[in-house]
Structure 1
Amino acid sequence: MSRSARTASAYHRLTGYRRGRLTPHALDWAHQPRPRKPYPQLARIPFPTDLSMPEMDYADLVCQAGQSVPAPQTDLDLNTLAALFHLTHAVTARSMHGDQPFYYRSIASAGALYPFEMYLAVHDVQGVAAGVYHYDLFDFALTRLREGAVPLTPSSARRVAATIYISGIFFRSAWKYRGRAYRYVLLDAGHLLENLRLALTALGLGFCVHTDFDDARVAALLGLDEGREGGLVCVHLFSSEGGKGRLAPVADPSPLPNDIRDASRVSAREVTYTEIQEIHRAGYGPAPTATGRERQPVSPGWHPRTWIDLPPSSPAGHTDYARLLWQRRSRRNFVSQSISMDHLAAFLDPMATSVAGTCMPTGEIVAIGLLAGAGTPVAPGAYLFDPHGRRLGQLAGGAMLESMARACLDQMWLKNAAFHLLFVSDPKALDQAWGARGYRYAMLEAGRLGQQAYLAATALGWGACGIGAIYDREAADLLGLTRDGALLYLVGIGPLKGR
């Protein structure tokens, strides 16, 4: 068998977990990755802290975010940017773990390693000079990396005021998860993307998400060390109607100094995993033209026996989005407690709306499944969720939560969840349609929907905890997937003790 990881199917197979075949791995705590990039002394713009957050109901916001992007209702300035970054990625609490501070954040992350970074290219923002900036979460500030006009990457037919870039630093996750870490880097970037999408909608900003772009050009613009950090998502923020015409072309700038590029190194002792390098480089864009499947769902081989229509959901009162975001945590102290069909429908509604507002250029490439436990209003078993018809299709009957908990590296607390939300795809089909970049699309989308699952559970007072550590083939067989089908991500959901 080839050890190359240059396709989605090869990488997913090579980094799969198999029972009894996991190589022991001790964490190198002396060289744990730094949570912030160590930039040299550069000019900074502090964000204002006396922010006025928009008051918006969570259910209304999700509904608006699933619709077509309107013309911007808000001009971009420093105050608006501050609110945008605060609603996207913020520290929500602080505690001490031994003698080290730990910062809770508004975004879910595998192992709380937070491998992503955010950058801002300013083209036409009131009160902020044109250039490229890095977002410093901990100081709530922008660090200037470039001064002056910069090229619009990727191109746009509309006038763009600014572009936000999401990157992933591979070793932040690989320190713990080794070659499998690329999965978690993408899932976590997807978590961040969904927060960004909701924040932009809440602030009335017009935008367009791009997951297909020239990787090398973006890396050069941001000053990334391409062996350590890669661009994953670009989001254009449009100018209001007052801004007329497209931006004037700007030549690609000179490379940034080495000390800026060296900031992609986050540990004195880093390990390079070939499989991560291969799959990321193999997916360099622009992506090849899809082979006629760009709007066709990727099927994991599920064929429901019968369908159950969900009732119209009726959210219980106003749920302030900003407060909800601050309350989000990974919680798994599940308790056996029945949930109603109305509550199940209220949970699944944001999933359906978020699928309709997909950020991917590929149509639906992730199927959503559900493993129901005894406390759910449907019979225990496996179901396919149809987001367009708002219905559940039964795939198999019987108690499956405990078996899935075992397939998730014997994390037996998962059997106490009310249900497991499943994100499933077919890596081989991704290769055939979009090449290696299709893997990015699928994992980003699974992470994006997973973040929405955290928020929807929190709104109902439930717990949610995401799992990417899976005995891959064991889980696929349990779910009756095709030979090439794969469970990308699982989120345990349910009522909590003491709630």
Structure 2
Amino acid sequence: MDGVGRRYQRKTAYTRGALGGGYLDWASQPLLFKHYRDLPTTDLPEELAPSGTTFREVFNRKVGTSKQPMDLVRLGRILHLAYGITARSGRGRDVHFFRAAPSAGALYPCEIYVSVHGVDGVPDGLHHFDLARNRLCELRRGAFFGDTDGWAVVFFITAIFYRSAWKYRDRAYRYCLLDTGHLTENVVLAAVAEGAAPRVFDRFDDERVNRFLGIDPDREACLAAVALGSPGVLNDRRISELFPDFPAALDGAALDPVQPGASVMSSSDRIPPVILQVHKETASWREGSPGPGEALPGDPAGWESVGIPEPSHGEEDPPFAQVVWRRRSHRNFTDRGLPTEAFSLLAHGLAHGEDGFSCVFAWFLGAGVESLETGVYLWDEAASRAILWKPGDHRTALASACLDQQWIRNAAVIWAFAADLEGLEKDLGPRAYRRAMIQAGRLGQRLYLAATALDLGACGIGAFYDDEARSVLGLPESHHVLYVVATGPVKKMRHV
């Protein structure tokens, strides 16, 4: 019997000739910013000087742990680098706001809430990041970390389902999870830039956390959390242990929803039942060590492979904040080669890190990469090698599988993240589907940032004919493609 994640992937799979068309109901277009009314607020600094850390220092987690206490300025920098408005274009009703994290269809379903303790300039309690007005909105005041000695912050990342469902319908849950992955990785890297040691949590009691956040769980739900604190505060505690007095410390009234109408993004925000169902069905998990699921056929030791040395430090290492601010989605790829050094930064940028990305396999279609034969490869980070899986240039075929978006075929390297969802669920329970999708989004964000640092283009693709994409890559039937990211030289980098 298929697991929850695999069933949902099959139910929402795109099949050539069966998409059915449709149109966007512009009268029901969702709002892109969430606002709370008449609650206490804390303004964030307007001018936030960057911390000065370089991209590679942050990307490789080479930034030392800071002994500085967390304050409003440092917290503001993390929030802005994670999800702040980086630019705007157009005017009036046609205005578009660029954000630090990308989003499928520029619909931005995610919101950030922060629970803080001991942060100078911010009242202890739970706050919503109102990025449109550059402020924190206080939702609950109190000490929710028990007898914590020091400072601590937990970033809760939610998704308002209708924002994505307005365009993508049943398939929207995929994009909510991928967007959560992009934003989660941005929070992690921004925290590292501030000398913090972030820890990512994706397994928590949905009902308990959503109730604490005060949101409408039928419209909005927490999908991930990132915790950081002064040395020794977090240790190896679970997210549930960060709130030892919750909910006992709060009376019934304090646990009431906080302006649930704030989660309404449209007068007709009907969320497809399949999204609410899969979210409910992926709530549970089993304890265990995450793994990529079913092994690939054959003996990897005997496969043809090419070693890819780690990238040299290089003379040019742009500031991390500058890379985040410059990041955009680019589709104007030019069919030029890619130096080994540039490819090395992209590939090794997918390093597992402390949180681990072992739930997904990283594949890539390489063409014009120095020292690599054109073909489909499996990236083996543990051995720093690219394993040749399927020779030949299959970029045109993958572009066709990606809803005939022919611009994809000019990208020098096209990455695809896939997982054996059935095997993962056997190991970790239904929650494994969320973990795999979020990790795919996190890896996609790392590719976006590494490409930007190299003056290359990158663009994520979540829409593809599922079976065709798997066939082009030559993957076993049990493996599902989760996310595709095109990278490579572009005709002209335009920085807005």
Same fold (TM over 0.5): yes
Which secondary structure state, in structure 1, belongs to the residue aligned with residue 322 of structure 2? helix
Contact 1:158 1:238 in 2 (8 A): no
Give CA deviations for 1:424-470 in whole Å, capped at 9, x if unaligned.
10111122122221011000100001000001111111100000101
Q: Which residue of 1 aligns with 2:445?
A: 451
**TM-score for both structures, normalised by structure 1:** 0.90
Contact 2:290 2:424 in 1 (8 A): no
Q: Which moved more, 1:263-272 or 1:120-129?
A: 120-129
Which secondary structure state, in structure 2, belongs to the residue aligned with residue 64 of structure 1? coil
Pair 1:334-2:330 in alignment: no
Equivalences for 1:34-433 in 2 at 5 Å?
Answer: 34-64=31-61, 72-96=66-90, 99-150=93-144, 161-240=152-231, 249-250=245-246, 251=248, 253=250, 254=252, 260-285=259-284, 287-290=285-288, 294-299=289-294, 301=296, 303=298, 305-316=303-314, 317-352=316-351, 355-358=352-355, 364-374=358-368, 377-433=371-427
Q: Which residue of 1 aligns with 2:12?
A: 15
Note the C-alpha offset of 1:272: 2.0
Contact 1:334 1:417 in 2 (8 A): yes
Q: Which residue of 1 aligns with 2:467?
A: 473
Contact 1:300 1:481 in 2 (8 A): no
Give CA deviations for 1:130-168 in whole Å, capped at 9, x if unaligned.
22110011111001111223367xxx9996622110111
Q: Give me the whole-angstrom Cα distance separating, in 1, the residues matched to 2:232 and 2:16.
A: 58
Q: Give me the whole-angstrom Cα distance separating, in 1, the residues matched to 2:226 and 2:233.
A: 20
Which secondary structure state, in structure 1, belongs to the residue aligned with residue 30 of structure 2? coil
Which secondary structure state, in structure 1, belongs to the residue aligned with residue 90 of structure 2? strand
Pair 1:29-2:47 in alignment: no
Change (3 A) 1:166 1:258: closer
Q: Give me the whole-angstrom Cα distance separating, in 2, the residues matched to 1:52 and 1:80.
A: 10
Note the C-alpha offset of 1:315: 4.0
Contact 1:370 1:419 in 2 (8 A): yes
Unmatched segments (≥5 aa) in structure 1: none
Q: Give me the whole-angstrom Cα distance separating, in 2, the residues matched to 1:327 and 1:416.
A: 22
Note the C-alpha offset of 1:374: 4.1
Q: Give me the whole-angstrom Cα distance separating, in 2, the residues matched to 1:423 and 1:198.
A: 21
Q: Which moved more, 1:137-146 or 1:334-343?
A: 334-343
Q: Give me the whole-angstrom Cα distance separating, in 2, the residues matched to 1:289 and 1:158.
A: 29
Change (3 A) 1:107 1:484: same
Note the C-alpha offset of 1:328: 0.3
Change (3 A) 1:158 1:336: farther
Give CA deviations for 1:398-439 in whole Å, capped at 9, x if unaligned.
110000000001111101111201111011112212222101
Equivalences for 1:434-449 in 2 at 5 Å?
Answer: 434-449=428-443
Note the C-alpha offset of 1:207: 2.8
Q: Give me the whole-angstrom Cα distance separating, in 2, the residues matched to 1:485 and 1:247.
A: 38
Give CA deviations for 1:49-80 in whole Å, capped at 9, x if unaligned.
23231111211211116x9xx76522111111
Q: Give me the whole-angstrom Cα distance separating, in 2, the residues matched to 1:276 and 1:200.
A: 31
Note the C-alpha offset of 1:295: 4.1
Q: Give me the whole-angstrom Cα distance separating, in 1, the residues matched to 2:475 and 2:149.
A: 42
Note the C-alpha offset of 1:252: 5.2
Which secondary structure state, in structure 2, belongs to the residue aligned with residue 99 of structure 1? helix
**TM-score for both structures, normalised by structure 2:** 0.91
Q: Give me the whole-angstrom Cα distance separating, in 2, the residues matched to 1:90 and 1:426.
A: 34
Note the C-alpha offset of 1:259: 6.0
Contact 1:6 1:282 in 2 (8 A): no
Identity %: 36
Change (3 A) 1:334 1:302: farther
Q: Which moved more, 1:426-435 or 1:24-33?
A: 426-435
Note the C-alpha offset of 1:347: 2.1
- Partner AA of 1:272 in structure 2: I
Contact 1:73 1:206 in 2 (8 A): no
Contact 1:32 1:175 in 2 (8 A): yes
Give CA deviations for 1:368-398 in whole Å, capped at 9, x if unaligned.
1110124554111100001121110000101
Change (3 A) 1:257 1:101: farther
The size of the alignment, in residue pairs, is 481
Q: Give me the whole-angstrom Cα distance separating, in 1, the residues matched to 2:405 and 2:234.
A: 54
Q: Give me the whole-angstrom Cα distance separating, in 1, the residues matched to 2:9 and 2:234.
A: 45
Which secondary structure state, in structure 1, belongs to the residue aligned with residue 275 of structure 2? helix
Q: Give me the whole-angstrom Cα distance separating, in 2, the residues matched to 1:321 and 1:199.
A: 9
Contact 1:38 1:266 in 2 (8 A): no
- Structure 1 stretches of at least 4 aligned residues deviating more than 6 Å after TM superposition: 156-159, 241-248
Q: Give me the whole-angstrom Cα distance separating, in 2, the residues matched to 1:300 and 1:9.
A: 17
Q: Give me the whole-angstrom Cα distance separating, in 2, the residues matched to 1:477 and 1:441.
A: 24
- Partner AA of 1:45 in structure 2: T
Note the C-alpha offset of 1:122: 1.8
Note the C-alpha offset of 1:105: 1.1
Note the C-alpha offset of 1:186: 0.5
Q: Give me the whole-angstrom Cα distance separating, in 2, the residues matched to 1:261 and 1:151.
A: 25
Unmatched segments (≥5 aa) in structure 2: none
Note the C-alpha offset of 1:45: 0.6
Q: Give me the whole-angstrom Cα distance separating, in 2, the residues matched to 1:420 and 1:407.
A: 13
Contact 1:376 1:419 in 2 (8 A): no
Q: Give me the whole-angstrom Cα distance separating, in 1, the residues matched to 2:458 and 2:412.
A: 10
Q: Give me the whole-angstrom Cα distance separating, in 1, the residues matched to 2:211 and 2:178.
A: 24
